[in-house]
Amino acid sequence: MISSWALERGATIRPDGTRFAVWAPDAKRVRVVLHDGGRRVEHEMDALDGGVWEVTVGEAPAGTLYAFRLDDGPADGLPDPCSRSQPHGVHGPSEVVQPDAYEWHDRGWTGLAMPDYLLYELHIGTFTEGGTCDSAIERFAELRDLGVTAIELMPVAEFPGARNWGYDGVALYAPHSAYGGPEGLKRLVDAAHATGLAVVLDVVYNHVGPEGNYLSQYGPYFTETYRTPWGPAVNYDGPGSDDVRRFVIDNALYWITEYHMDGLRLDAVHGIYDFGALHVLQELTARVHTQGTQLGRQVQVIAESDLNDPRLIRSTQRGGYGMDAQWADDLHHSLHVMLTGERAGYYADFTGCVEEIATALGERFVYAGRHAAHRGRRHGAPATDVSAEHFVVCIQNHDQVGNRAAGERIASLVPFERQKLGAAMYLLSPYVPLLFMGEEYGETNPFQYFVSHGDPELAEAVRQGRRREFEAFGWGEDVPDPLSEETFRRSKLCWRRAGEPGHAQLRTLYRDLLHLRAHERALRPGDARVRVAADDARGWIVLELVPSFADTLAVLFNVSDVTRDIPIGHSESARWSIVLSTSDPRYELHPERRRSPNAARAGETDDRRRVPQHGDAAGRVITVPPTSALVCRRERL
């Protein structure tokens, strides 16, 4: 189906030449400056209604470098706010791009429904040694074999220098030149689809990076009415905000249309302030869904929010914004405290007790209107009316790892058995799971915060800001230099580690857990009724998943360091059999030291798989080894 939307701002190649268009409502004169080697050629632009300027230049083919000169501004001009490419960085001229030049091969790809997402978050620069889109492609077959169905790319919009997490992007339409630019990103998406992987792009609409940010010279893109932790808020509801909203919504549609993205993950939407009648998040989501339908694809919009606010994902008919999913941090925080014992900073609001984890498993949020001491107020709202496929959960992500002073991963913080238990507790949850790159084999290289700002004052401000950020955690001065290239190098994955002892067993467990999710109807988010029981004193949780037309599964978690007899529902007409046990010898560092009576290969269904269970008419109990999880299927006799 042909899309009715096309990007009209920036540089558009047409039969009669290239049309340049830019919104600059306060300018009295605007020229497009074409850069031809050392020569500059200026073309006067015509003023249209609404502060838009345009001109068509007959000789400006793809590859032409250009900039916009506002009034008597710098002779070299400023980068285009809607630049599709910045080959010379954030301060250099923009490049004319022909969007249709790339030959796509994904005609039959239609995207995925949200319950079918098994997300894998990655940072292109550190995912591989090469640090490019093309080198990332080489690992896609491994991810698909692992059971991943979608990759989530940390932001790729052009940022200053060659090293950055991506949240300092300033050219929001330009894929970063060091990653491979526009063609490289299109090859990545095309290859992902050929491998059976959807692609979600992390986009940042709550702020724009500080270096190379020329937007305020063009118009009222920012407002002082609100402040964010990252600087002035984007102007979504003040004077001039109509075109600012268009700039952001066009950007979302651009990634879906020109780059065939299957979804967008919107960074920190709690930093988006809009008190107009139609919230920009609702408008953006509706436009993206409409565009996806016109393109014949399922497209998802996922929010990162720290508000525990279900309005984001409630339907518009019920007063919500209609987004497809949101990150739900409470399960992560509870699991992290349980696994590590850390209680500093925002972890102070969590105890890590099994009843708290059970609440997160059954009710989406731990904080759904409760008072949070760390915040000094009540936090969140109930969300049990929203189906489970609208919540994305994890045990690690770029924030929770990288926003530690030293960037340690779980594999560097807790013993092997706890790594396995933590993995099972979120991968067997009723929600949509997200893995952070390298987690599946227990990567021990850190993921640290790195930037490559060229402004010395800004660079020093970043250094000092990172130190202040960690004061609440008691991490002192032990903060790696974000400007050092070594900090970036340390953060790259070491893929050979995946085959080493311990790491290989962990990857096998992850693979089996992900494949179990793919094949068991009860584990498809939203398809099963969820019942949770817990005993805080004895350290166990039972998660029962009851689908309408498939087998019931029960997941038994023993978080204690001793073997427990865990009660489970009893029926004379049914018995329980093992589907998977994390204490299986295949997942053990030293299998000869701990052979569980429950250990067996996933998929076996004969008598060797029977669960050791005992009891009477009042109920049954199942013996579960310490620090482990057991998946059982209810079988009719």
Q: How many CB atoms lie within 10 A of CB 399?
A: 20
CA distance 253 to 259: 10
User: Of the residues 121, 152, 237, 267, which is catalytic?
Assistant: 267
Residue 551 a catalytic site member: no
Is residue 637 classed exposed, middle or buried when 0-12, 13-18 and 19+ CB atoms within 10 A define those classes? exposed
Do 636 and 428 contact (CB within 8 A), yes or no? Answer: no
Task: Output the CA–CA distances (angstroms, integers) from residue 310 to 303, 317, 324, in the order listed.
Answer: 11, 14, 11
Q: Are strands 263-266 and 574-581 parallel, antiparallel or unpaired?
A: unpaired
Residue 389 a catalytic site member: no
Assigned token pair, 143: 């991810």
118: left (phi over 0), alpha (psi -120 to 50) or beta: beta
Do 498 and 441 contact (CB within 8 A), yes or no? Answer: yes
> Cα 209–283–285 angle (5° rounding)?
80
CA distance 327 to 310: 11
Length of the chain (residues) = 637
Do 422 and 414 contact (CB within 8 A), yes or no? Answer: yes
CA distance 186 to 198: 13
Do 337 and 373 contact (CB within 8 A), yes or no? Answer: no
User: Of the residues 80, 304, 309, 356, which is catalytic?
Assistant: 304
149, 142, 253, 252: which is closest to 198 by C-alpha?
Answer: 149
425: enclosing H helix or E strand: helix 416-427
Residue type, 141: A
Q: Are strands 198-203 and 39-44 parallel, antiparallel or unpaired?
A: unpaired
Assigned token pair, 230: 């990252």
Residue type, 101: A
94, 92, 69, 74: which is closest to 84 by C-alpha?
Answer: 94
CA distance 294 to 453: 40
Half-sphere exposure for 316 (CA within 13 Å, toward CB):
13
Catalytic residue IDs: 267, 304
